[in-house]
Amino acid sequence: MPSSPLMSGFPSVESDQVTLANWRTAPYLKWAFQHVREIVPSADIANSPSGVWPLEFAQKDLSSFSFQHGGETHSLDRLIADTDTDGLAILHRGKVICEHYANGMTSNTPHILMSVSKSLTSIVAGILIDRGKLDPEQTVVSIIPELKNSVYSDATVRHVLDMRVGLDFDEDYLATSGPIVEYRKSTNWNPLAPGERPSDLRSFLSGLKDRAGPDGGSLHYVSTNTDLLGWILERSTATRFADLLSNLLWQPMGAQASAYITVDRLGAPRCAGGICTTLLDLARVGQLIVQGGRRNDNAIIPAAWIEDMFANGDPKAWSDGDLVSYFGNRPMHYRNQWYVLRDRAIAFGLGVYGQNVFVDRANEIVVAKVSSQAPPLDKRLIDLTI
């Protein structure tokens, strides 16, 4: 039985229909985030059914677990409810000690990761850099000459990886007009207006020209950078991104299910936010990082890439950047499309509406969390989750 009336009729009444126009707004996102490929075109990220990484389960009774935050006591159940969690998995020393689902989600349901997709995309970049297929100090235009008249004309791959391109772009998730809405239309995430000509992601990226500062300056978080990174990876290898992610990570890692990624009308992948996976496959990525990038004797994520992520971010670029207000005074940096809590050596990916993966190498803990929060970004909920 459906967990809500959304999309439950044949057809459902108009007020319960999830469409391209409403799929990222409450309450429609409750259904949409587990059915994205029914709304937006997608490309499959195949797993290897014969090579699944079997996780060991050692479920713990966490009913007595609590923590203090904001002067209040929070149980795990309260955290799950307050943050609209659809799925939560906790691994300790490689064992699943907590697996929880809500809102109709199951262990086999792919859920959109939003900007945690960026963190997975960067892993593909790290593998290709390790194999000599890509140089982080290369200029973008040496790979994609079509961008020579864009804001990316002097940027390097490293600038793109670390969100330090000086473009002028306001990542306002609540905007109803302007460049970010045109961006979403180009990716197939928003409907076109009546009579409007269809766009595409690569054309949109090529048309970005406005500059707000120098490349290599403070952190300026813009999702277009990661979609450009996907284009860079495809152009460098002459291979679709969905196949790169499948061949380099998803199959070697032993994902339990195929994932998928949304694509535009010409097949360009939404690497910035369009990857959809099962909860435990997201947790497997975190566990792979805990294990230094290795599964058994197979090196999958380069250990040097993981070390670079933890050690080489620029704390000044972070403190001068445009995300610091969401994370309080925590000592942090951003490197290779991952956030790092410097005082605790914890790396994490974060996506709007409450998507997360946390990696604590020292304590061998991985937390994967997917949600359907109504606000895209909410400082209180981010703070509570961390």
Kindly report, residue by residue over 160-193, the tens digit of the pLDDT.
999 999 999 999 898 889 999 999 999 999 999 9
Structure tokens belonging to residue 229: 């990174």
User: What was the pLDDT predicted at 202?
Assistant: 98
Say if residues 159 and 211 touch (Cβ distance below 8 Å): no
pLDDT at 3: 45
- Average pLDDT of span 317-340: 96
Query: Which H or E run includes 245?
Result: helix 241-245
Counting residues of the chain whose pLDDT is more than 90, the rounded percentage is 96
Contact at 8 Å (CB) between 221 and 163? yes
Mean pLDDT of 304-329: 96
pLDDT at 328: 87
pLDDT of 104 over the 70 cut: yes
pLDDT in tens, 10-68: 899 999 999 999 999 999 999 999 999 999 999 999 999 999 999 999 999 999 999 99
**With 60 as the cut, is the pLDDT of residue 122 above it?**
yes
Omega before residue 27 within 30° of 0, cis: yes
Mean pLDDT over 297-322 rounds to 97
Q: Where are the domains of the chain?
A: 33-385
| pLDDT over 50 (residue 2) | no
| Structure confidence by residue, pLDDT tens digits, 340-365 | 999 999 999 999 999 999 999 999 99
Under CATH, domain 33-385 is a member of which superfamily? DD-peptidase/beta-lactamase superfamily (3.40.710.10)
What span, in angstroms and rounded, lies between the C-alpha atoms of 61 and 195? 57
The terminus-to-terminus CA distance of the chain in angstroms comes to 33
Q: How confident is the model at residue 130, as a pLDDT? A: 98
Which residues is 111 bridged to in the sheet? 277
pLDDT digits (tens, 9 = 90+) for 218-230: 999 999 999 999 9
- DSSP bridge pairs for 91: 96, 366
Six-digit token string for 127: 């593998």
The reported pLDDT for the residue numbered 5 is: 85
Give pLDDT tens digits for 130-166: 999 999 999 999 999 999 999 999 999 999 999 999 9
In the predicted structure, residue 305 carries a pLDDT above the cut 90:
yes
Question: Which residue type does 381 have?
Answer: L
Give the number of residues written for the chain. Answer: 386
Enter the DSSP assignment of 127: H
Please write the tens of the pLDDT for every residue from 235-281.
999 999 999 999 999 999 999 999 999 999 999 999 999 999 999 99
Question: Average pLDDT, whole number, for the chain?
Answer: 96
pLDDT band of 4, cuts 50, 70, 90 = low
- CA atoms of 40 and 274, how far apart (whole Å): 9
Distance from C-alpha of 251 to C-alpha of 268, rounded to nearest angstrom = 22
> Could you give the CA distance from residue 23 to residue 42 in angstroms, rounded to a whole number?
15
Assess whether pLDDT exceeds 50 at residue 1.
Answer: no
Backbone φ/ψ region at 92: left (φ over 0), alpha (ψ -120 to 50), beta: beta
